[in-house]
């Protein structure tokens, strides 16, 4: 951890209180000049830090910039290696380089903007600056390729719970990986994995999560305007909402993850379902088929009743609710 990061962590843990430069220098075993340089650097990054002679420095309480120090304040687990970036092409692609260089599990990359955000089925994920949060988590689970869906569905429950906890709303999960709020998509999840081709064991998985926190400047692009939504309203934002919701997603996910094969989140996943017992469309390439969503089985496959009366279990694909 750099001197600047240590100074910020100290100020975060004592937000609203003055801490003398001498005290910081002694505690961090650095010079007063190093503390002063760190304070100036943090101010340039947007942190509102007050300074008063003979009192020291104070991080103002209404200062809620996204940072790993602020996220750590709300985390219930240790041993996570978090990086926060202003802009990346894709958090999944960025993290993939770490995965392929034997980086241990628990590396988390967070960005406030993606220029080439990735969605499922080769689609792009709209990832503008200032209004969303995009994060990827490196995992090394002891799962078979056939169990890869556990990660995505576990993450869906973790995100849905976090949204509800921080916003006070009631979000729902559209099988298999989208989170909806007030009938609008507010989160997409993309899990990418590397497997042992012979045995099918998972070498690593990268869990990518994109959250639409507020309405983007100028609104969403025309092609997704009717379906894309946001979690919070800019005139009624919870305190420190960015850091809090990221921490809650991480806390919730790692509550289940150590025993993910037990699928303790299955009941919650089904209860939060947006599509069960509703008429749906199934998209297969260029074809669209009408069906009814009946259930989600123990392997998170979607049980559907086709128009011809046949029962089918879907393990992947794209579906949407069909208006009667």
pLDDT per position as a tens digit, 164-194: 999 999 999 999 999 999 999 999 999 999 9
pTM for this entry:
0.88
pLDDT above 80: residue 5: yes
Residues 55 and 72 reside in one and the same domain: no
Domain identity same for 263 and 297: no
195 lies in the same domain as 287: no
Residues 33 and 97 in one domain: no
- Same domain for 265 and 293, yes or no, is no
- In terms of residue numbers, what domain contains 15? 3-59
Residues 113 and 233 in one domain: yes
Looking at 18, 36, 59, the residue that finishes a domain is: 59
* 87 shares its domain with 111: yes
Mean pLDDT of the chain: 93
18 with 147, same domain: the answer is: no
Over residues 8-33, the mean pLDDT reads: 92
What's the pLDDT score for residue 324? Answer: 62
Q: What is the CATH number of the domain that holds 54?
A: 1.10.10.10
Please count the structural domains in the chain.
Answer: 3
Three-state SS across 70-132? HHHHHCCCCCCEEEEECCECCHHHHHHHHHHCCCCCCEEEEECCECCCECHHHCECCCCCCCE
Whether residues 175 and 314 share a domain: the answer is no
The predicted-structure confidence for 225-235, as pLDDT tens digits, reads as follows 999 999 999 88
| CATH code where residue 258 lies | 3.30.930.10
The answer on 80 and 228 residing in a single domain is yes
162 membership: H or E segment, kind and range: helix 149-167
Q: Are residues 209 and 255 in the same domain?
A: yes
């Amino acid at each position: 951890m750099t001197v600047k990061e240590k100074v910020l962590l100290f100020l975060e843990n004592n937000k609203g209180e003055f801490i003398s430069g001498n005290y910081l220098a002694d505690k961090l075993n650095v010079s007063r000049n190093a503390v002063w340089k760190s304070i100036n650097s943090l101010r340039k990054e947007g942190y509102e830090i007050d300074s008063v002679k003979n009192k020291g420095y104070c991080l103002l309480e209404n200062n809620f910039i996204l940072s790993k120090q602020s996220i750590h304040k709300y985390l219930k687990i240790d041993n996570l290696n978090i990086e926060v970036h202003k802009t990346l092409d894709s958090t999944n692609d960025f993290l993939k380089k770490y995965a392929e260089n034997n980086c241990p599990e628990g590396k988390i990359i967070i960005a406030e903007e993606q220029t080439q955000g990735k969605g499922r089925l080769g689609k792009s994920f709209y990832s503008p600056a200032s209004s969303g949060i995009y994060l990827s988590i490196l995992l090394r689970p002891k799962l078979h390729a056939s169990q890869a869906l556990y990660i995505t569905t576990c993450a869906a429950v973790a995100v849905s719970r976090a949204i509800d906890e921080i916003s006070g709303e009631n979000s729902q999960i559209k099988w298999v990986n989208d989170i909806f709020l007030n009938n609008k998509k507010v989160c997409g999840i993309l899990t990418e994995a590397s497997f042992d081709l012979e045995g099918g064991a998972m070498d690593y998985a990268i869990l990518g999560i994109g959250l639409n926190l507020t309405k983007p400047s100028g609104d969403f692009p025309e092609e997704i305007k009717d379906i894309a939504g946001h979690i919070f309203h800019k005139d009624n934002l919870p305190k420190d909402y960015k850091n809090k919701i990221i921490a809650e997603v991480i806390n919730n996910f790692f509550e289940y993850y150590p025993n993910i094969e037990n699928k303790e989140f299955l009941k919650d996943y089904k209860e939060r379902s947006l599509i069960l017992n509703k008429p749906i469309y199934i998209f297969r390439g260029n074809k669209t088929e009408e069906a009814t969503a009946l259930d989600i089985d123990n392997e998170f496959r979607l049980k559907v009743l086709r128009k011809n009366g046949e029962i089918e279990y879907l393990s992947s694909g794209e579906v949407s609710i069909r208006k009667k």
